[in-house]
Amino acid sequence: MVEIRKIGAESVNDGGLSMTGDCVPRPGHYIGEPMRKAVSDYDGQSVKIASYAIASKIEPREVAGVKLFPVDHWTAYA
């Protein structure tokens, strides 16, 4: 089991489409309360958040003392 907490993100839409975009995490900007989740038996590095969502830990790289997180693509299509 691990304790996790949802964090905010900086997000931008892809041009004219409003249902897709890119985002990066905002560490320290928490949303909601911490929750306990079981670590996946499949890879040992992710947790199931909901039937449609899985979370995994990402490590930023550091450049000149600034933490840089990889950009993630999102979609809101049903």
Per-residue pLDDT at 62 = 95
Per-residue pLDDT at 40 = 85
Per-residue pLDDT at 30 = 95
Helix, strand, coil percentages for the chain (3-state, nearest 5): 0, 65, 35
Per-residue pLDDT at 17 = 63
Per-residue pLDDT at 16 = 66
- Cα 5 from Cα 3, distance rounded (Å): 7
| Mean per-residue pLDDT of the chain | 88
Which stretches of the chain score pLDDT less than 50? none
pTM for this prediction: 0.67
